[in-house]
Amino acid sequence: MVDVARTPSDGLGDSVGPGAVRVRPGTIVLNADRADEERLRLVVVNAGDRPIQIGSHLHLPDANSALEFDREAARGFRLDIPSGTSQRFEPGASREVALVALRGNRRVPGIQVKTTADAELGQVPGIQVQTTAEGPGIQVETTAEGPGIQVETTAEGPGIQVGTTADDPRIPVQTTADDPGISVRTTAEGELGRVRRDG
């Protein structure tokens, strides 16, 4: 998926130093190895008065409370979007989103107090409340069933954030004392920390 070799035909010539990273053109199927029961689609509505962003690996039930959706069905799921990206919901916006089940140890520490303190979590099939040295968390053992959905994106499409700008996907790496080093712009002004704040 990542091409680190330069070619004379890329039009970039010597303006790109060693270590330049560009995404190859073509279609990328996200989470292609996932089974149907690890996928789900939900409608999310921003009932608030401010834009809200959800990060790619946020446990969806922990999202901002101004977002209205079936939080019980979303337990154990995250957005099926490229890692490190987010989806933005404008006030009043309604959108169907694709979800994919969490993997790994599948232990999800609650970000919001209501998530970790919810006494009914133990009654939800496949979910156990666990208390550890780090605090309460959710152990997801099973996932809700959903239709098989595959999300695709392209190197030119939204969600792939590589390089300095959408039109200049390069990461120059320091090669001389005069070179300032790595220059990467991944957010617009005012967006720094928004995903962290809004959850």
Task: Give the pLDDT band (50/70/90) at residue 21.
Answer: confident
Residue 97 makes CB contacts below 8 A (sequence gap 6+) with 41, 42, 43, 44, 79, 80, 87
CA 94, CA 76: separation in Å to the nearest integer? 22
Domains and CATH numbers, the chain: 2-104+144-194 (2.10.150.10)
User: Distance between CA 82 and CA 160 in Å, rounded?
Assistant: 7
Compute the average pLDDT of residues 81-87.
93
pLDDT 10s digits, 122-145: 334 444 444 444 444 433 333 334
Q: Which helix (H) or strand (E) holds 195?
A: helix 194-198
pLDDT at residue 54, as a whole number = 94
Q: Which of 81, 42, 83, 75 is nearest to 59 (CA)?
A: 75
